[in-house]
């Protein structure tokens, strides 16, 4: 695995496009998770009130709620991270370097592992940055800073990590079958932000929805990975208005997401073994 990661590292260390794209993602993640206080202040300046409560006193950065809040927000920009993965995969195919790597002595398994290690690296850094920015915001604004609260509900960070890994593997699979990077990016954006959400919303909420379709949606890829940190309509902020929120991750939600990771890995392995890599 270390050898596989080093192979990937040699390819990306000096690749400016990669660092810019990854940097942009981290920036977007930081803005969306830590910009909340400015947003609330702006709302207040516009004299918006929620049930008579001034927005700026909402304790959105209180430990441990901050973890669920940030993770839920960061989940909105995750499509950007798939761009990094798609560009990396697309380079290998368009420069024919995947073929060259294999000819030079990389096994297909090792190639898969090298890209998987990249995905773990990206997701790991994103999660760490989220943890770091959460700590900073928490220490600045949280009303409680006991370790007991800080380290409570860290499972949301693990859920965020898993979500990114599964989503990146999805991008990896798409990158392998769609030759043009731009097209692959459009497809993953449309699929994850438009197509699947519409289909799952119909199956879950429309008049035709029944017990079966409501169970079925849980197995959709984007649905299952988003369910981990809360779907878009499951805002953790609703609790400030005394509404019920999703406040835990059910065991089978972890399992379905991990299942998708395994399916994507198997699919890519199958593709690598079956595909003729022509010059």
Partner 1 sequence: MSVLKINKLTKKFGKLTAVDQLDLTIKEGQVYGILGPNGSGKTTTLGMILEVVAPTSGSFEWFDGMKNVDARQKIGSILETPCFYSYLTAEQNLRIIAHIKKCSYDRIDPILKQVNLYERKTDKFKTYSLGMKQRLSLAAALLSDPPVLMLDEPTNGLDPEGIAEVRQLIRDIASKGKTIIMASHLLDEVQKVCTDFCILRKGVKLHEGSVNDILGETNVVEISSGNMDELMKAVQQYNGLEKIEQSNGSLKAYLKDGQSADHLNQFCFDQGIALKKLIPESKSLEQEFLKILKEND
| Piece of 11-19, 73-81, 177-185, 190-198 that binds partner 1 (CB under 8 A) | 11-19
Helix (H) or strand (E) holding 271: helix 251-274
With CB under 8 A as the contact rule, the residue among 32, 58, 209, 277 that binds partner 1 is 277
**Quick one: DSSP state of residue 61?**
T
Min CB(14)–partner 1 separation in Å: 6
10 Å CB burial of residue 182 (0-12, 13-18, 19+) is exposed
Beta-ladder partners of 53: 50
* Count of residues that interact with partner 1, criterion CB under 8 A: 31
User: Cα–Cα–Cα angle for 245, 236, 232, nearest 5°?
Assistant: 100
* Nearer Cβ to partner 1 (3/180): 3
With CB under 8 A as the contact rule, the residue among 24, 32, 43, 106 that binds partner 1 is 106
State which of positions 141-170 bind partner 1 (CB under 8 A).
none
| Piece of 5-13, 61-69, 132-140, 161-169 that binds partner 1 (CB under 8 A) | 5-13
- Whether residue 220 contacts residue 200, with contact meaning beta carbons closer than 8 Å, is answered with yes
Q: Does position 275 bind partner 1 by CB under 8 A?
A: yes
Phi/psi of residue 178, nearest 5 degrees: -105, 120
Min CB(11)–partner 1 separation in Å: 6
Phi/psi of residue 85, nearest 5 degrees: -65, -45
**What does the binding site for partner 1 look like in residue numbers (CB under 8 A)?**
3, 6-7, 10-11, 14-17, 91, 95-97, 99-108, 110, 273-279
């Amino acid at each position: 695995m270390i050898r596989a990661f080093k192979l990937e590292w040699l390819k990306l260390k000096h690749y400016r496009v990669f660092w810019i794209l990854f940097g942009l993602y981290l920036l977007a993640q930081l803005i969306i998770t830590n910009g909340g206080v400015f947003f609330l202040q702006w709302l207040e300046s516009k004299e918006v009130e929620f049930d008579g409560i001034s927005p700026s006193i909402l304790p959105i950065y209180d430990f441990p709620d901050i973890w669920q809040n940030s993770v839920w927000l960061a989940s909105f920009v995750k499509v950007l991270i798939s761009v990094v993965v798609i560009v990396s995969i697309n380079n290998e195919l368009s420069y024919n370097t995947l073929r060259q790597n294999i000819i030079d002595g990389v096994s297909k398994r090792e190639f898969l592992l090298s890209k998987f290690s990249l995905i773990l690296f990206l997701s790991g850094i994103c999660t760490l940055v989220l943890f770091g920015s959460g700590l900073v915001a928490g220490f600045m604004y949280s009303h409680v800073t006991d370790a007991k609260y800080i380290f409570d509900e860290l499972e949301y960070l693990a859920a965020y990590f898993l979500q990114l890994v599964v989503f990146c593997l999805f991008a990896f699979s798409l990158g392998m079958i769609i030759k043009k990077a731009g097209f692959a990016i459009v497809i993953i954006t449309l699929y994850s932000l438009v197509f699947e959400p519409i289909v799952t919303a119909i199956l879950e909420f429309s008049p035709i929805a029944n017990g079966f379709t409501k169970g079925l949606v849980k197995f959709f890829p984007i649905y299952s990975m988003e369910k981990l940190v809360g779907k878009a309509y499951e805002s953790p902020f609703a609790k400030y208005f005394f509404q019920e929120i999703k406040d835990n991750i059910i065991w089978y939600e972890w399992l379905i997401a991990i299942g998708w990771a395994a399916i994507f890995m198997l699919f890519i392995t199958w593709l690598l073994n079956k595909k003729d890599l022509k010059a």
